[in-house]
């Protein structure tokens, strides 16, 4: 049983470092000799529980697909988690993974900002697609009949800046497709703005969106350019992983 506990400690350490962690760092964290840690890592690599890139270890596809088999968890959710941690670490803001459920966006993952002032928990909550960046990122790439149905309304207002006009929403969705990202500028709450990008499956369909939400008093001076680049990179990487995953 002791060996199992040690292996779990190794996996837990690796999971906390989405960008990868070295043998020395793992050994130091779990309190094991390098030789022992190395043997565990070799065994974990054999079953694809971890993978080695540039002398750093990351969680492998074996663990990801095992996590995806848990009821209530889908493959994209399992694949996305390490990337969400990485986004939160780089942006220092709240990161979400969202999926479309009819006319609403459900947040299925949330990584909180390390700042003292944080957003409320949106995990497992649903909101209309047009008031969130995460929702608009999915609506912009949805099938035409889905978009037309949504535009029939009503378009509920969540703040004074919510888009409630059909033509304005059409223009916003077109801009999203042209720019490759969606944004809400105080449309959900006048205290918050956010950005999001869609994740696409092998058929080019949007299956989820990844987003970053920012309180207005911390809104970046570059109008979110750095945040947008992080999101585009993350969604592209996640799409490639999803398209290459067995059974996807």
Query: For residue range 66-120, what is the model confidence (pLDDT) as tens digits?
Result: 765 555 556 777 778 888 888 988 989 999 999 999 999 999 999 988 877 667 7
Rounded Cα distance, 155 and 241, in Å = 35
Q: Show the tokens assigned to 154.
A: 């009503």
Long-range contacts of 89-92 (CB under 8 A, 24+ apart): 89/18, 89/19, 90/230, 91/212, 91/226, 91/227, 91/230
pLDDT for 184 equals 95
Q: Rounded to an integer, what distance in angstroms lies between the CA atom of residue 166 and that of residue 89?
A: 37
Q: What ranges in the chain are assigned the alpha helix state H? A: 2-15, 23-30, 34-46, 61-68, 75-91, 133-139, 144-151, 166-179, 225-244
Report whether CATH 1.10.10.10 matches the domain 2-59: yes
CATH topology of domain 70-244: Beta-Lactamase (3.30.450)
The two most distant CA atoms of the chain are separated, in Å, by: 64
Task: List pLDDT tens digits, range 25-75.
Answer: 999 998 989 999 999 999 998 888 888 888 899 877 677 667 655 555 567
Instruction: Tell me the average pLDDT of the chain.
Output: 88
Cα end-to-end distance, the chain, whole Å = 35
Residues paired with 215 in a beta bridge: 192
The predicted model scores a pTM of 0.73
Q: Sign of the C-alpha dihedral, residues 139, 140, 145, 151? A: positive
Find out whether 186 and 88 touch, Cβ atoms under 8 Å. no
Neighbours of 8 (CB within 10 A): 11
Give SS3 for 68.
helix
Which of 83, 118, 101, 89 shows the shortest CA–CA distance to 199?
Answer: 83
Query: What pLDDT sits at residue 18?
Result: 67
For CA atoms 101, 98, 200, 150, the dihedral sign is positive
Domain regions of the chain by residue span: 2-59, 70-244
Adjacent-strand bridge partners of 94: 213
Q: Which residue has the tokens 């920012």?
A: 214
């Amino acid at each position: 049983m002791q060996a199992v506990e040690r292996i779990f400690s190794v996996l837990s350490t690796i999971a906390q470092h989405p960008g990868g962690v070295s043998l020395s760092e793992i050994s130091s964290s779990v309190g094991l000799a390098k030789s022992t840690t190395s043997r565990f890592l070799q065994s974990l690599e054999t079953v694809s529980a971890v993978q080695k890139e540039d002398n750093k270890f990351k969680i492998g596809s074996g663990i990801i697909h095992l996590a995806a088999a848990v009821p209530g968890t889908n493959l994209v959710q399992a694949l996305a988690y390490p990337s969400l941690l990485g986004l939160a670490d780089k942006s220092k803001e709240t990161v979400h993974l969202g999926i479309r459920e009819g006319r609403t966006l459900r947040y299925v993952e949330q990584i909180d900002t390390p700042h003292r002032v944080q957003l409320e928990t949106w995990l497992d909550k649903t909101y209309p697609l047009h008031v969130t960046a995460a929702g608009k990122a999915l609506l912009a790439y949805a099938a035409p009949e889905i978009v037309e149905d949504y535009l029939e309304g009503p378009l509920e207002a969540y703040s004074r800046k919510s888009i409630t006009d059909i033509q304005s929403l059409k223009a916003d969705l077109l801009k999203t497709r042209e720019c490759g990202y969606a944004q809400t500028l105080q449309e959900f709450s006048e205290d918050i703005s956010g950005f999001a990008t869609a994740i696409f499956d092998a058929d080019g369909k949007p299956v989820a969106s990844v987003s970053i939400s920012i309180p207005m008093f911390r809104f970046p001076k570059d109008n979110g350019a750095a945040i947008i680049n992080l999101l585009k990179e993350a969604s592209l990487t996640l799409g490639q992983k999803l398209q290459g995953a067995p059974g996807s």
